[in-house]
Amino acid sequence: MRATNSSTATLHTLFARREPTTDSFVKALGVKGKTDLVLYEDKACTKPASRYMWSNTRPTRANKRVIHNCCSYNLEWLPDVKAA
């Protein structure tokens, strides 16, 4: 799935949600509450497109578009995944 940067084209949508971090260093320290932002190609969250680690600059819920691999995408936010 590729989006274009053309203003006449319809942008594809990526789906975003926060999930518990996969950072092994943070897990080893026992730090709680850190979340990564994960972008998916489908609403069912079965095709991951990208992961922004908790420590990186990442889109916020105020963002409605994101640039991923040099292409613009619409961004739809899904409910966060809570740690077990």
For the chain, the DSSP string reads: ------TTSPPPEEEEEEEE---HHHHHHT--S-EEEEEESSTTS-SEEEEE-TTS----TT-SEEEETTEEEEEEE-PPPPP-
Domain edges within the chain: 13-77
pLDDT recorded at residue 18: 95
Higher pLDDT, 28 or 44: 44
pLDDT recorded at residue 5: 56
pLDDT at residue 84 tops 90? no
pLDDT recorded at residue 55: 83
pTM for the full model? 0.81
Residues 40 and 49: beta-carbon distance below 8 Å: yes
pLDDT at residue 14 tops 70? yes
